[in-house]
Amino acid sequence: MLRLYNALTRSKKLFKPIKNKHVSMYSCGPTVYDHAHIGNLRAYIFADTLQRVLREVEGYSVDWVMNITDVDDKMIGRIQRDNPNEDPNSALGILADTYTDIFIDDIEKVGIKRADIAKLPRATDHIKGMQLLITKLMREKIAYESDGSFYFSLDAYKKSGKKYGVLVDLDYTPQARVTDDQDQKEGVADFVLWKAQKMSEPYWDFEYLDQNYPGRPGWHIECSVMSTQYLGAPFDIHTGGIDLKFPHHENEIAQCGGHQANFFVHNEHLQVHSEKMSKSIGNITKLSDIKDPLAFRLLCLQAHYRTQMDYSPKALDSAHERINNLRAYADQLFLATEHQLPTADESGITAEFWQIFSASLEDDVNTPAALAALAAIEGKVFSQQTLQLLYKVDKVLGLQLIDERPISSEARATLADYETAREAKEYIKSDKLREELKTNYQLQVSDTQYGPLVSRIRK
Ligand SMILES: [Zn+2]
């Protein structure tokens, strides 16, 4: 059974889905105004690993929804800079299309399967739903209108008996007040639900009490609406980077009336020289700068999601070396001939490995411990059973260790000649064939008690 750290209770809790055997999970997705950087990708790799653990270790089916933020200050800033003469609504759509495609491409490169995400809804396709929620909050007198914009009133919310500050302890001294949006707010900590149209900005009509309030949604309202529209309220798990905990998630919860999801799970930042990787600091690395994206995935999994992770090209190089070693071991198992390896691992190490591996993941998705468990079998245990478990490992960790391309029949024949020469103790001949396998077929031979096992040579 999976135990997961829940930011709502600030403790590890046994995870049980609302519906039997079925998990509903929402992840705050990207703002599609530019390339995601690898710091952003850490959050999606974590969410993906969590949903894989839920499916492959716990045996649940998972409905995973991730939103696309396609309207906000950054998006608008970008179209005003690049397409000042175009219709803002259509320029926004084109920008969103471009970077949504790039985002999907990026996440697939780091081992996230697009098909595993049930829905990738866009904010601008859900304006109506957001307006309905704002209308509901107005009716409940938890929201107010001012100068054409609509705001969430924290005072009214708290007076209705609800608690604001469920994920973080909030300090309401004047210095600590939230400076989220400076428009026409009554209370300092109120946040915007709907922003009145400004000149040359994209806008949507909003009919409220027979009056039109053209404008655009605030950021927080989109996640409250899209998460509950597709997953119901409450749903099981809400994920996001630690910086979204407050005010974003706190506000999402408040807009949902206090109970949006049963679990809130946050991953820590990726750091560079002890600083958060961010566009504003200017220390970003894009995925296109990385030659082996799955080595980056491994690097992420080597750190627990709730610890800050230091990124450096050197750390990435060691992850690349590590994943190549694992790939070589997977090759040895996969490329062995049908009769070469025993069916079962009689030593019991394989079965024991799986126990430690899955128990580690069930302990708050402890991927570093799960990866460490691999050391017990890697390069040591060879059986069909081990290969089958390695397929499971791939499903859970998404590292794509097993390369299912067959080797050519010529390479197979050379390998058979190599084995014959070795058995006949014709070492000069076998050394020559070993070299041939290396130079002609990029295969490395290792002599084991099961005969020669091969792996692909990777750089
Ligand atoms: Zn969100």
DSSP string for residues in 316-373:
HHHHHHHHHHHHHHHHHHHHS-TTTS-SS-TTSHHHHHHHHHHHHHHBT--HHHHHHH
Task: Report the separation in Å between the CA atom of 223 and the middle of ligand 1, taken as the mean of its atom positions.
Answer: 5
Task: Report the separation in Å between the CA atom of 48 and the middle of ligand 1, taken as the mean of its atom positions.
Answer: 16
Task: Report the separation in Å between the CA atom of 69 and the middle of ligand 1, taken as the mean of its atom positions.
Answer: 9
Task: Report the separation in Å between the CA atom of 408 and the middle of ligand 1, taken as the mean of its atom positions.
Answer: 49
Identify the DSSP state of 408: P
Task: Report the separation in Å between the CA atom of 295 and the middle of ligand 1, taken as the mean of its atom positions.
Answer: 28
Task: Report the separation in Å between the CA atom of 272 and the middle of ligand 1, taken as the mean of its atom positions.
Answer: 25
Task: Report the separation in Å between the CA atom of 235 and the middle of ligand 1, taken as the mean of its atom positions.
Answer: 14
Task: Report the separation in Å between the CA atom of 82 and the middle of ligand 1, taken as the mean of its atom positions.
Answer: 26
Polymer length of the chain:
459
Tokens representing 365? Answer: 């998705």
Tell whether the model's pLDDT for residue 179 goes beyond 60.
no
- Mean per-residue pLDDT, 178-207: 78
Task: Report the separation in Å between the CA atom of 207 and the middle of ligand 1, taken as the mean of its atom positions.
Answer: 25
Query: Hey, CA dihedral for 299, 101, 32, 220, is it positive or negative?
Result: negative
Tokens representing 233? Answer: 């309220």
- Give CA–CA dist 253/257, Å, rounded: 7
CA dihedral 373, 378, 380, 385 (to 10 degrees): 80
* All residues with CB under 5 Å from ion ligand 1: 28, 223
pLDDT range class, residue 188, cuts 50, 70, 90? low
- Mean per-residue pLDDT, 350-378: 98
For 166-189, give one letter per residue: b (16+ CB within 10 A) or e: bbeebeeeeeeebebbeeebeeeb
Tokens representing 336? Answer: 């062995």
Tokens 């798990």, located at residue: 237
Task: Report the separation in Å between the CA atom of 28 and the middle of ligand 1, taken as the mean of its atom positions.
Answer: 4
pLDDT range class, residue 138, cuts 50, 70, 90? very high
- Helical spans, DSSP H, in 1-126: 38-52, 73-82, 88-109
* Averaged pLDDT of the chain: 94
Task: Report the separation in Å between the CA atom of 68 and the middle of ligand 1, taken as the mean of its atom positions.
Answer: 9
Task: Report the separation in Å between the CA atom of 262 and the middle of ligand 1, taken as the mean of its atom positions.
Answer: 15
402: nearest Cα among 410, 416, 411, 392: 392
Task: Report the separation in Å between the CA atom of 312 and the middle of ligand 1, taken as the mean of its atom positions.
Answer: 28
Q: Please, how many CA atoms are within 13 Å of residue 286, restricted to the half-sphere of its CB?
A: 10
- Mean per-residue pLDDT, 161-187: 65
pLDDT range class, residue 183, cuts 50, 70, 90? very low
Residue of 356 and 278 predicted with greater confidence = 356
Task: Report the separation in Å between the CA atom of 286 and the middle of ligand 1, taken as the mean of its atom positions.
Answer: 22
- 202, 216 Cβ separation under 8 angstroms: yes
Give the DSSP H/E element, type plus range, for residue 215: strand 215-217
CA dihedral 248, 252, 258, 264 (to 10 degrees): -70
| Single-letter code of the amino acid located at 145 | E
Question: For residue 146, what are the β-bridge partners?
Answer: 149
Say if domain 17-267 classifies as CATH 3.30.1360.120: no
- 450, 336 Cβ separation under 8 angstroms: yes
**Could you tell me what percent of the chain has a pLDDT over 90?**
90
**pLDDT score recorded for residue 61:** 98
Query: Distances in Å between the alpha carbon of 260 and those of 45, 100, 225, 233, 341?
Result: 23, 26, 10, 6, 51
Lowest-confidence range among 60-69, 150-159, 166-175, 400-409?
Answer: 166-175
Task: Report the separation in Å between the CA atom of 203 and the middle of ligand 1, taken as the mean of its atom positions.
Answer: 21
- Mean per-residue pLDDT, 21-45: 96
Tokens representing 10? Answer: 């600030």
Task: Report the separation in Å between the CA atom of 27 and the middle of ligand 1, taken as the mean of its atom positions.
Answer: 7
Task: Report the separation in Å between the CA atom of 266 and the middle of ligand 1, taken as the mean of its atom positions.
Answer: 12
Identify the DSSP state of 69: B
- Give CA–CA dist 179/181, Å, rounded: 6
| Single-letter code of the amino acid located at 349 | I
**pLDDT score recorded for residue 439:** 97
Gyration radius of the chain's alpha carbons: 26
Q: Please, how many CA atoms are within 13 Å of residue 56, restricted to the half-sphere of its CB?
A: 22
Q: Where in the chain are all domains bearing CATH 3.40.50.620? A: 17-267
Task: Report the separation in Å between the CA atom of 259 and the middle of ligand 1, taken as the mean of its atom positions.
Answer: 15
- Give CA–CA dist 62/22, Å, rounded: 6
Task: Report the separation in Å between the CA atom of 72 and the middle of ligand 1, taken as the mean of its atom positions.
Answer: 12
- Give CA–CA dist 419/413, Å, rounded: 10
Give the DSSP H/E element, type plus range, for residue 3: strand 3-6
Task: Report the separation in Å between the CA atom of 257 and the middle of ligand 1, taken as the mean of its atom positions.
Answer: 16
| pLDDT tens figures, 325-338 | 999 999 999 999 98
**pLDDT score recorded for residue 333:** 98
Task: Report the separation in Å between the CA atom of 351 and the middle of ligand 1, taken as the mean of its atom positions.
Answer: 40
- 63, 25 Cβ separation under 8 angstroms: yes
